[in-house]
Each structure stands twice: as structure tokens, then as C-alpha cells.
Amino acid sequence: MEKGKGTNPMKEDVFARIESADGDVTISGVSAAALAKECGTPLYIFDETGLEQTMQAYVNDFKSDEFETRVVFASKAFSNKAVLKLCAENGLYIDSVSLGEIYTAKSAGIDLSTIYFHGNNKTKRNCARRWNGA
């Protein structure tokens, strides 16, 4: 693998795009208070640009001229349709340990051939359902 093909997201400050001024927090220039007023609370806020930059950095950093590589997102970390779509759009595969995670990925339009299904305690029926699209 060529070193330095991408930027190492682990070397960057995770909170670099979060700022606080005048009693308000902004994420990538967007006011958290304004988002809460518009969307209500509780509210999970993700920096889409930051996520995409990190995903692309991983994909680029793991490219190799010697063998095929894949970056795989562990869906158990946050199995959400929007995040799974971002993964697919940025070339990541999906790691799944349950039919529920596969169902969420499928309902997000994820190509089932990009899902790694694994783990213990899987019945033949579970495995068959996975290959038939949950």
C-alpha cells in the first residue's frame, strides 16, 4: 500500500468542525440551537461532510496495488438508513450480524452483495434468509 494516498482521519481532531460561541454550538457552521428549534429534541446530529471525508480517507488509505481491499462499516455501531446510504455512496461495504441489520440495509437500497453476514448462533434458516434478501 502506498503511504499517504489519503489523509489519516485518526490524526485529525474529531471535534475540529464543532465550535462554541455566544452560548451556541455550531457543527460545520450550522447552529445546534436552530436545528433543535426546527427538528425538536432529542436530536442526533451528524456532520455529513465530515463522515464522507473520513470514509473516503479510509477507502483511499487502504487501497493496494497488490491485493483487493475493502473498508467495511460495522452496522451495529449505528444501523441507520442515511448512514448506510453514505457508506454505499462512498464505497464501503456493510458488516452485519443480524437479519434486522440486513433488513435496514436492504430498505436503504444497499446492494446485498456488499454485506458481510457473520457471527455465531446463525441457523440455516437465518443464512438462507440473508441470501434471499432477509
- Tell me, what's the pLDDT at 19? 80
Q: Are strands 93-96 and 115-117 parallel, antiparallel or unpaired?
A: parallel
Does residue 71 surpass a pLDDT of 90?
yes
Based on its alpha-carbon atoms, the radius of gyration of the chain, rounded to whole angstroms, reads: 18
pLDDT band at residue 1 using 50, 70 and 90 as cut-offs: very low
pLDDT at position 8 is 55
Kindly tell me if the per-residue pLDDT of 131 is higher than 70.
no
Average pLDDT, the chain: 84
Q: pLDDT tens digits for 19-69?
A: 888 888 998 889 999 999 999 999 988 888 888 989 999 999 999 999 999
The predicted pLDDT at position 109 comes to 94
| Residue range 126-131: mean pLDDT, rounded | 66
The pTM assigned to this predicted structure is: 0.76
CA distance 133 to 39: 33
C-alpha cell at position 101: 441489520
